[in-house]
Amino acid sequence: MDIKYFDELRAFKIDTSNNSYIMAVVDDENFLGHVYYGPKLSDIPMYMLRINENPYVPSKNNRDRGSFMDTFPTELPGNGLGDYREGAVEIVDKDGHFAVCPTYKDYKIYEGKPELAGLPATFAGADADSKAMTLEITLEDKNVGLEFILRYSVFADSDAIIRSTEVVNVSDASVFIKKAMSFAMDMDAEDYELLTLHGSWARERQMDQRPIGYGKTSVGSVKGESSHQEHPFMALVQKGADQKQGRVYGFNFVYSGNFLAQVEKSQFDSVRVLMGINPTGFKWELKAGDKLQMPEVVSVYSDEGIGRMSRTFHDLYRNHLIRSPYKDKKRPILINNWEATYFQFDTDKLIAIAKEAQKAGIEMLVMDDGWFGHRDDDNSSLGDWYVNEDKLKGGLKYLVDEVNKIGLKFGIWFEPEMISPDSDLYRAHPDWAIAIPGRTPVRSRNQYVLDLSRQEVVDYVFDVVSKVLHSANIEYVKWDMNRQITDLGSYCLGKDNQGELFHRYVLAVYQLQERLIKEFPNLLLENCSGGGARFDPGMLYYGPQIWCSDDTDAIERLGIQEGTALVYPLSSMGAHVSDCPNHTVGRNTPFSTRGNVALAGTFGYELDITKIPQEDRDSIPGQVEMYHKYNPLVRTGDYYRIASYRENHYFDCYGVVSKDKSEALFTFVQVMGRPNYHSRIVRLDGLDPEKKYVVEGEDVSYTGETLMKAGLQIQNLWGDYQSKLIHLIEA
């Protein structure tokens, strides 16, 4: 890792172990241009800026200055001054003008990486391998009195580059910021395709790849959260690239609210990449002297295909983003009562589940939705975080103590950001709900969203949640969020500031979770949003795991977990074994396959263990043993995607290889049986070609070279949805 400024060229060069990112200041007007991002270089290819190609010259008042602006690869494109591609910054200045053109002012290079006030951010470690360096470039627009601080950080042990934008008002009047992207880059990208993750409730993060056409292509969210539908991630993938080869640029936004991820292909085949807070619904009043820090973007370049990109994200998040004390620990195997009972449970039922679970080796009981107020369905009580003693006879502490006596830890569900119209809280504070005066607010799942832009509301939420957590020995919280935000209106924000609500809301969620983990430093926090609608790097800064999806069907999970693992480490993916027919899709799958697929995540159960077939119950101790055996490898190893049934329609295969390559676990799922078909040859990946590996349980061993080049032979399994774990140990 290194960051240098080259005076004679006025160029900045950021190096990771394998990649370089280069910018340069040009012309007496100090435009900051993007020179290069890709495999590591020892030179600085200034020609990439094409500043001497007539008529694209930058000189002041030249009649072709507009052509220059519309062509120049700008590091932070402004707006309204001749660059007709979409800008990274939009403002309204004190006179109502929107033109803005940030140009270079100065720079700083220093060791370490600053925190981003109030926002999740990657961080450096103490040892030499995990140290960081940061480059700060300040751009300015003297006309409007704004400065833009671009921060680029790199870590000694990662190829990722982290970037963010801070806007500072150095004028003496308010300026409205309508857009300030965290990341912008112009690159020559004729032969790239766009890879994104799309989805829906119960179908989160499905991979989608398409050619980049002329004009703009974007994904985004305006739902107040990162969303089920689109994901704050995109990758530019060279045509023909695959898991192992080809150039790939991946971008992931460390934020949990509205986002925009966009590419724009210009008339000259260059591509402008933008990523940041979605400008729709955003308008921030930046008062004189104020600063606005935008969230950060992680960019990863790989010239060894998509697989290398994924592994770089995984390591970065495991080493430099997740802070929880659980990040390097095996998580307790939990059993959650949601799919077991939904809202219909009481103390006796939970204790019965706990007793049976303990016999099978399960380590924690999680009580889901329905324990508070008078909530027997989703019509009421959000906000009334006091125990329903009709259901929990003897109270919460009694239940937790009983569960602890049985030998299980105890976890609890909250949905702290919400308020039900039928709640004491709403009757007392109707103005605490987000709403526009005069409009009946839209209900979703029969609930409203709390106006977290009000500090008194945030404090209330924190106090009630922490009171419950202090009242008993609660060691885990599932923090849910079951609706998107509409009716953007706050009774407290002024008319010029309503456009701040979305972002203030997300900042308040971060504040709440930060306070929670400070107050309860040993708490295991699992985030969730109607399944996986807030599975993003922002949330990983607060809790080490996120519920992937309400779809717990093992086959649906293959696609969901494949898309999730494209960016996020397996240690962060909430995955449970549930009952059949599956509650979302009605499919019957073997209990063993449900276990094998959940093993790729945090692992747990979501079923009524007192009611499932005896044969399934009898399989749980074996699965528990398997979790204890394989989880250290799954949590810490390198992930390799071998085959995807999304592409081949028959089988899925992925694996985890230990960092020292002495052990590997591959999971093979035969989604569709095929009649009259011979065995399959599956070429593994990530092994040491020189090492010899024993296939556990089979009396055979092969070199890594054979397993990767020739492949492993897998006999046709009998039936659909069958699966097999292949454990390789160095001989």
Which range binds ligand DGJ by CB under 6 A, 302-310, 318-326, 380-388, 526-534? Answer: 526-534
Angular region, 342: left φ>0, alpha ψ -120 to 50, beta rest: left
Peptide bond into 537 cis (omega under 30): no
To ligand DGJ, the closest distance from the beta carbon of 414 in angstroms equals 10
To ligand DGJ, the closest distance from the beta carbon of 547 in angstroms equals 5
Establish if 413 lies at the interface with ligand DGJ (CB under 6 A). Answer: yes
Distance of CA 292 to the CA centre of its chain: 22
Q: Between 659 and 688, how does the x/- string for binding to ligand DGJ read (CB under 6 A)?
A: ------------------------------
Establish if 196 lies at the interface with ligand DGJ (CB under 6 A). Answer: no
Q: Nearer Cβ to ligand DGJ, position 73 or 199?
A: 199
Query: Are the C-beta atoms of 651 and 669 separated by less than 8 Å?
Result: yes
Place of tokens 């306070």: 515
Query: Are the C-beta atoms of 321 and 122 separated by less than 8 Å?
Result: yes
CA pair distance 243, 285, nearest whole angstrom: 45
Rg (CA), the chain: 27
Q: Nearer Cβ to ligand DGJ, position 547 or 666?
A: 547
Q: Is 28 a catalytic residue?
A: no
Q: Nearer Cβ to ligand DGJ, position 91 or 340?
A: 340
Establish if 363 lies at the interface with ligand DGJ (CB under 6 A). Answer: no
Query: Are the C-beta atoms of 703 and 693 separated by less than 8 Å?
Result: yes
Residues with Cβ < 8 Å from 539, sequence gap 6 or more?
120, 256, 513, 527, 546
- The three-point CA angle 684-231-219 to 5° equals 120
Could you tell me how many residues make up the chain?
731
Pairing of strands 638-643, 651-657: antiparallel
Query: Are the C-beta atoms of 487 and 538 separated by less than 8 Å?
Result: no
Establish if 693 lies at the interface with ligand DGJ (CB under 6 A). Answer: no
Establish if 368 lies at the interface with ligand DGJ (CB under 6 A). Answer: yes
To ligand DGJ, the closest distance from the beta carbon of 382 in angstroms equals 10
- The three-point CA angle 50-52-53 to 5° equals 70
Establish if 340 lies at the interface with ligand DGJ (CB under 6 A). Answer: no
Query: Which position among 550, 553, 579, 652 bears the catalytic label?
Result: 550
To ligand DGJ, the closest distance from the beta carbon of 659 in angstroms equals 33
Establish if 500 lies at the interface with ligand DGJ (CB under 6 A). Answer: no
Q: Nearer Cβ to ligand DGJ, position 341 or 716?
A: 341
Q: Which helix H or strand E contains 626, and what residues bound it?
A: helix 614-636
Establish if 627 lies at the interface with ligand DGJ (CB under 6 A). Answer: no
Q: Nearer Cβ to ligand DGJ, position 140 or 480?
A: 480
Residues forming a β-bridge with 36: 22
Q: Nearer Cβ to ligand DGJ, position 413 or 448?
A: 413
Which range binds ligand DGJ by CB under 6 A, 387-395, 424-432, 497-505, 528-536? Answer: 528-536
**Which position among 12, 152, 313, 338 is part of the footprint of ligand DGJ (CB under 6 A)?**
338
CA pair distance 603, 601, nearest whole angstrom: 5
Q: Which helix H or strand E contains 477, and what residues bound it?
A: strand 476-479
Q: Is 685 a catalytic residue?
A: no
Tell me which residues in 210-239 interact with ligand DGJ (CB under 6 A).
none
Q: Nearer Cβ to ligand DGJ, position 531 or 655?
A: 531
Residues assigned a catalytic role: 480, 550
- Interface with ligand DGJ by CB under 6 A: which residues? 338, 368-369, 413, 480, 482, 528, 530-531, 547, 550
